[in-house]
């Protein structure tokens, strides 16, 4: 009978081995986020947002939430914290006074200059560099895993920063 660390069969990985790999991924993401926060003095999600705003100066809050795949309310809250710190500024759209655009300030750009790469997050960067077939397979496998969580999965968590 296999032990906890042995593989049950050559074709099937042992669940504990896979769990250990998840721990490695989560640990790497946490370390990178901690390094970002120490270097920049703001939360990792705020660094991620600053980087997205630098890429598209004058982006609207709703476009930013779509680009980052987060709720509009989450984007608004992150922007508010960045505005309070003087790292971004809000601008009313000339043609539609209801719409708000955001732009990174000089101080915000200097905060990003101190940030370790990748600014948009270690996991997103790694996923972006996977071959298309590997990423597609991983996507399907994660769907299968989520289905096996027996109702323990919060699908709304997909729209929250890590």
CATH value at residue 102: 1.10.10.10
Instruction: Walk across the sheet containing 100-104 and list its strands.
Output: 59-60, 100-104, 88-92
Is the full-model pTM beyond 0.85?
no
The predicted model gives 52-58 an average pLDDT of 92
Query: Which residue stretches of the chain are H helix?
Result: 15-40, 44-55, 61-68, 72-84, 106-113, 122-129, 132-147
Residue 24 lies in a domain: yes
Residue 157 lies in a domain: no
Give the domain range for residue 24.
15-151
By CB atoms closer than 10 A (0-12, 13-18, 19+), residue 31 is: exposed
More confident position, 13 or 86: 86
Grade residue 1 by pLDDT with cuts at 50, 70 and 90. very low
Q: Model confidence over 73-129: pLDDT tens digits? A: 999 999 999 999 999 999 887 777 778 899 999 999 999 998 999 888 899 999 999
What is the number of structural domains in the chain?
A: 1
Q: What is the pLDDT of residue 23?
A: 95
Residue 162 lies in a domain: no
Residue 28 has pLDDT above 80, yes or no: yes
Q: Is residue 64 part of a domain?
A: yes
Asked, for residue 73, whether it belongs to a domain, the answer is yes
């Amino acid at each position: 009978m296999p032990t906890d660390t042995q593989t049950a069969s050559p074709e099937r990985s042992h669940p504990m081995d896979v769990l250990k790999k998840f721990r490695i991924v989560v640990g790497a993401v946490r370390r990178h986020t901690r390094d970002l926060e120490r270097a920049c003095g703001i939360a990792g999600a705020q660094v991620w947002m600053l980087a997205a705003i630098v890429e598209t100066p004058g982006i609207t809050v709703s476009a930013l939430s779509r680009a980052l795949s987060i709720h509009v309310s989450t984007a608004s809250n992150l922007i508010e914290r960045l505005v309070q710190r003087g790292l971004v500024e809000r601008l009313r759209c000339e043609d539609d006074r209801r719409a708000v655009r955001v732009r990174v300030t000089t101080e915000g750009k200097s905060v990003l200059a101190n940030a370790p790469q990748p600014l948009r997050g270690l996991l997103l960067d790694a996923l972006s560099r996977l071959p298309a077939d590997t990423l597609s397979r991983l996507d399907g496998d994660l769907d299968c895993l989520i289905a096996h969580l027996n109702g323990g999965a919060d699908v709304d968590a997909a729209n929250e920063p890590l």
